[in-house]
Chains A and B, each alone.
Chain A
Amino acid sequence: MRITICGSVAFYEQMLKIKSRLENLENDVKLPPMEVIGTEGRTISVVEFYNPQTPEARNENIGALKKHFDFDNITWCEAILVVNADKKDVANYIDINTLIEMGVAFYLNKPIYLLNPVPEISYKEEILAMFPMVVNDDLTKI
């Protein structure tokens, strides 16, 4: 199956491991980009992107956000897998960027898998309404 992994960039190391496990199960897998292109055409690493050092860099990041939503990979895939680990004292955290990507997957009628249970978060209602399938780290369920 063609699977696109979504989730906070903070979970990138974990995403790489999940990608490898999914490929061992004969899936084609795409990850969020490691780099984004800024408004000046400069390549910015995702780490720098989320931790801008100057107001100029922050402005550039805002321009780059337009390309940052992972919509191409969501269009390509047959399902998305959201990697939701613990972050900011929230268990199974899903960031707002990922919520937007889930919304587009839902619009495109693509199944949405969650690696871990639904988090207790202000937009839990929206997540529940998209009826994600929680796999509890068992990737054979996809």
Chain B
Amino acid sequence: MKITICGSIAFFEQMLAVQKELEKNGHEVKLPPLKIKDENGNLISVTEYYNLRKMETDDQSWIWQRKKEAIKTHFDKIDWSDAILVLNYDKKGIANYIGGNTLMEMGVAFYLNKPIYLYQPLPEVSYKEEILGMFPIIINGDLTKI
């Protein structure tokens, strides 16, 4: 199966490990990009970009153009896939966290009628109903369920 992994960039190390495991199970897997272009067009690691973005206070910054490109590229990967797998580890003191960006990706997968797998159970967040409404399949860390 063709699977696109979604989730916060903060989980990038875990994404790589899950990718390896899924590939071992015979799946084709796509991830968010490893590198992003900086203000001058030089490639920087996605973690460095993430840190710059978190510090950005200017609504007109080049940062948002890169994020736009990253969102578009990942939507294309969702289009390519047969299903998405959301890695929802703990973050910001919330168990099984799913943030705004990932929720948008789930929305596009749902729009395209692609199955949505959640690595861990649903988070207790204000928008839990929206997540439930997309009927994700919870695999509780068991990748053989995909």
Contact = CB atoms under 8 A, between A and B. Distances in A.
Q: Is B a genuine binding partner of A?
A: yes
Q: Which of A61, A102, A106, A118 has the most CB of B within 10 A?
A: A106
Interface in B81-113: 99-101, 103-108, 110-111
A100 B134 CA distance: 11
A96 B103 contact: yes
A85 interface: no
B107 A69 contact: yes
A125 B132 contact: no
Interface string B110-141: 11000000000000001101101111000000
B126 A107 contact: no
A106 B71 contact: yes
Contacts, number: 78
A21 interface: no
Judged by DSSP, the binding face of B is helix
A126 B133 contact: no
A62 B106 CA distance: 16
Given A68-B133, A100-B103, A129 B68 contact: yes
Interface in A59-107: 61-62, 65-66, 68-69, 71, 96-97, 99-104, 106-107
B64 interface: yes
Nearest to A96: B127
A130 interface: yes
30 contacts: A66-B135, A68-B133, A69-B110, A69-B133, A96-B100, A96-B127, A97-B130, A99-B100, A100-B106, A100-B130, A102-B104, A103-B108, A104-B108, A106-B75, A106-B104, A107-B75, A107-B108, A107-B111, A118-B59, A122-B99, A123-B99, A125-B53, A125-B64, A126-B71, A126-B100, A128-B59, A129-B64, A129-B71, A130-B71, A131-B64
Interface of B: 53, 59, 64, 67-68, 70-72, 75, 99-101, 103-108, 110-111, 126-127, 129-130, 132-135
Interface of A: 61-62, 65-66, 68-69, 71, 96-97, 99-104, 106-107, 118, 122-123, 125-126, 128-131
